[in-house]
Amino acid sequence: MSSVLEPIPPTVLSVRRLFNADPALVRGYGGDPARHVALGLVTCDQDDAMYVALDEATKHAPVDVIFARSFYAGAAHASGRLSGEVLGVIAAADPQAIEDGLAALLRCLEHDACFYDADGQRTVTVFPHVISSLGEYLSAEAGLAPGEPMAYLVAPPLEATIALDAALKAADVRVVRITPPPTETNFACAWLTGSLDACEAAAVAYAAAVVDVATTPKR
Amino acid sequence: MSRTRTLIAALRAELGAADPLPPPPPIPAIPAPPARVYTPRPERSGYAAHAAKHTTALVGIGHVGTRYATDVVLQFQAELAVAHAAVDAELPADWAAANGFQPVHTRATDHREFLLRPDLGRRLDEASLAAVRSQCTRGADVQIIVADGLSAVACVQSGKALADAVAAACGARGLTVGTPIAARYARVWLEDEIGQETGARVAMILLGERPGLGTGDGLSAYVVYAPRIGKTDGDRNMISNIHARGVPVEEAATRLAALASAMIAQKTSGVPLDLALLGLSRERSPRPPQVRQRLVTRGAP
């Protein structure tokens, strides 16, 4: 119980810019070559922290998230030293927007979004993140308005199931999306919304429940 | 600070974790936006520099990049503020009586109405008309009227001094001067009605002029022969910029007295008046350039 719920800071593995990307490449990765000329590419060993950080970038710079995908089986089974478990691509019309967006993204990864250790040995982890104000990217993904709060909750399969029940019962929140296991990284995910206070209460209940399951897995 | 990290740290304390969390990474300082430094470029044109010596207008002020220098902008804003304050100022109601003038009012009932209705500022109200008829000397050579006009600041500052100096200068030329009158909320043409009622041969109104940039304390003097309601601006002679940095009060008083005696001698005023016969040796000499009053000083770069 000694080091439970310690933050596990995400490790940024690569950050590269493409200031004049080929239109065919932009189109292939889901962008619009008319608006997306410059790209910023980041890999990181925590996919959900990266999604939150990409959303953060859209709040600080006129950038669009054109590509963000997790890799199968997560960072522990990555295809290379720099792959991690997610590649995020932000795109903009000019390089300065990319610089501003990357700065916000890296700041969020360093100081805000991260997994937490749920059992003191980093063998069970939980991502009970509260976004107080959604950016352009996750609001579009969630079908909510930009600026609304959202709880972004991730944990391993059984832990996530028990914890989601606890979160939904702990506060006046409603489900935006439930992604049952397995996902690409074999975690389970839930997005909840409500008032900011409710989202925070739900996230805390979620984290507490994951710790509880991690401590007493058989009962 | 991350809200989520704070929440989870609180939950961690609640669950009984004793060991301290590792310190959060320091938040890097957000760099200031790059400062683009433009060097002020003084005006290098010799013509502009020469012209600037003869006017307080904004010529020869140079530039910084595509803009004015900061001190020029601040000076402009300060001068505009002086002008606004002068227009906003009101002549105190007891100023006339306290300085030995016969107080009169126009038909404008308050300052706002005075600013918006020039026509009301050109006529006396009933009480003032009766006072002028009963209290003032009739048939004087020169009737002097001090008024607030568009700058009560100027009137309070030098109205009394100018009226006294003009009266003395007129007396020195052997002209009789009527009861000095001070008018509140007054426009230039008020002198026609007052002159008509007092039967003066020349009416002279000394009033605060429309403030310009940095000049909120200037008086103007308008002089008309045989004042009657209906006289036009073509019938008047005037001297403007009567203030310390323009025409000094003593010089203005000398010229006004000369104007009044020339009007009485030629029995006309305005356009028909022959100014060459004023008999002032300095009249044709060039005026020394007006010096700009610095309201903003420029610090070391």
Assign residue B104 the CATH number of its domain. Answer: 3.40.50.11240
Structural domain includes residue B73: no
Structural domain includes residue B136: yes
What is the residue-wise DSSP string for A182-202? P-TTS-EEEEEEE-HHHHHHH
Question: Given B10, B21, B25, which is nearest A6 (Cβ)?
Answer: B21
CA distance B30 to chain A (A): 10
Structural domain includes residue B228: yes
Among the listed residues A159, A162, A173, A160, the one whose alpha carbon sits nearest the alpha carbon of residue A201: A173
Structural domain includes residue B17: no
Interface size between A and B, measured as CB pairs under 8 A: 62
Q: How far apart are CA B197 and CA B183, in angstroms?
A: 15
Percent of chain A with pLDDT over 70: 99
Asked whether A173 and A167 are in contact (CB, 8 A), the reply is yes
Question: Given B4, B18, B27, which is nearest A203 (Cβ)?
Answer: B4
Does residue B17 sit at the A interface (CB-CB below 8 Å)?
yes
List the single residue in B with minimal CA-CA distance to A153. Answer: B4
Asked whether B249 and B168 are in contact (CB, 8 A), the reply is no
Q: Is the pLDDT confidence value at B294 over 90?
A: no
Assign residue A41 the CATH number of its domain. Answer: 3.30.70.1710
Say if residue A152 is in the same domain as residue A57.
no
Structural domain includes residue B28: no
Say if residue A43 is in the same domain as residue A75.
yes
CA distance A32 to chain B (A): 30
Q: How far apart are CA A145 and CA A139, in angstroms?
A: 6
Q: Is the pLDDT confidence value at B120 over 80?
A: yes
CA distance B14 to chain A (A): 10
Structural domain includes residue A165: yes
Number of domains in chain B: 1
Domain of residue A206 covers 118-215
- The mean per-residue pLDDT over the stretch B88-94 comes to 92
Contact A5 B15 (CB under 8 A): yes
A168, A171, A172, A175: CA torsion to nearest 10:
-30
In this predicted structure, what is the pLDDT of residue A2? Answer: 57
Domain of residue B213 covers 88-278
Q: Dihedral of CA B106/B108/B112/B115: which sign?
A: negative
The per-residue pLDDT of chain B, averaged, comes to 88
Contacts of A110 in chain B (CB under 8 A): 25
Phi, psi of A44 (to 5 degrees): -160, 155
Residues 26-55 of B with CB under 8 A from A: 27-28
Structural domain includes residue A4: no
Does residue B15 sit at the A interface (CB-CB below 8 Å)?
yes
Say if residue A158 is in the same domain as residue A208.
yes
Number of domains in chain A: 2
pLDDT-based confidence at residue B177 (cuts at 50, 70, 90): very high
Residue pLDDT, tens place only, A93-117: 999 999 999 999 999 999 999 999 9
Q: Which residues of B234-264 are buried (b: 16+ CB within 10 A; e: fewer)?
A: ebbbbbbbbbeebbebebbbbbbbbbbbbbb
**DSSP label at residue B89:** -
Structural domain includes residue A2: no
A32, A36, A37, A42: CA torsion to nearest 10:
-110
Does residue B19 sit at the A interface (CB-CB below 8 Å)?
yes
